Amino acid sequence: MDPVSVDHALVQAVRAGLGEIADPTKAPQMQAYMKSALPFRGVTAVPGRALYRRLIDAHPLGSARSWQDTVRELFDHAGFREERYAALAIVRHRRYAQYRRADALPLLAHVTCTGAWWDLVDETAHAVGDVLRADRAAAEPTIRAWSTDESLWLRRAAIICQLGHRGDTDIALLSDAIVVNLDDPDFFVRKAIGWALRDYSKTDAVFVRDFVAAQTRLSGLSRREALKWLDRPASQGSSR
């Protein structure tokens, strides 16, 4: 990271803004719920997102280098967990869609492995999905490699990065990322498998039913999650 390319004004504005809307009475419960070593400011999701949008709009970043380095400054040197949420808001902001290409994957891998918990990893996984859509040929080999990485969080990101892609889903990548992780006993991996299949069941229920039936090593948790919408009575619908 090059300190010169960090937008320190944005970093300072985020930290000051969080301090202004902090609610110390909520902070301990939020930290306990998230099992976070970092303390919280006590800023809940709605006012937090509004703050991040306002500050990101007010401090445009002029290059991919500045974008990456500002994200890393906020994320790596966070004193409170909400600063990491702000960093991810910068990652996913519409203005920086042009920077979510394959050369951003090292940054996203760093955030995933450093964050190492579901709230940070799952938000980052959406950015990984953006990269895959925008730069598929270059990104797919790296994401495929993540699916067998020793980091369970990179494996989770590889499994869930196509959530919401519907007809654009790379079925081979999704299937392979799941199959190589079938024997992993970790809750977060098994949950990810079920979640990814459940999400895709909205697009191709037949594929998901056939896939689940064929995978005899699929855990009970993954199986239940995958079929949750498909096994609902018709009167309940399957849109949620």
Answer whether 14's CB lies under 8 Å from 52's CB: yes
The confidence band for 212, taking pLDDT boundaries of 50, 70 and 90, is: very high
Other CB atoms within a 10 A radius of the CB of residue 19 amount to: 11
Give the model confidence (pLDDT) of 15-61 as tens digits. 999 999 999 999 999 999 999 999 999 999 999 999 999 999 999 99
Structure confidence at residue 235 (pLDDT): 45
Give the model confidence (pLDDT) of 97-114 as tens digits. 999 999 999 999 999 999
Question: 57: Cβ–Cβ under 8 A, 6 or more apart, which residues?
Answer: none
- Burial (CB count within 10 angstroms: exposed 0-12, middle 13-18, buried 19+), residue 134: middle
Phi-psi label, residue 237: left if phi above 0, alpha if psi -120 to 50, beta otherwise = left
Judged against a pLDDT cut of 80, whether residue 239 lies above it is answered with no
Question: 84: Cβ–Cβ under 8 A, 6 or more apart, which residues?
Answer: 38, 74, 75, 78, 115, 120
Domains and CATH numbers, the chain: 1-99 (1.25.10.90), 100-240 (1.25.10.90)
| Global confidence as pTM | 0.93
Lookup result for tokens 């970790």? 186
Token output for 150: 């020793």
Cα first-last separation, the chain? 41
Give the model confidence (pLDDT) of 223-237 as tens digits. 999 999 997 755 454
Here the contacts of 168-172 (C-beta below 8 Å, separation 24 or greater) are: 168/133, 169/200, 169/203, 170/132, 170/136, 170/140, 171/207
Please give the mean pLDDT across all residues of the chain.
Answer: 95
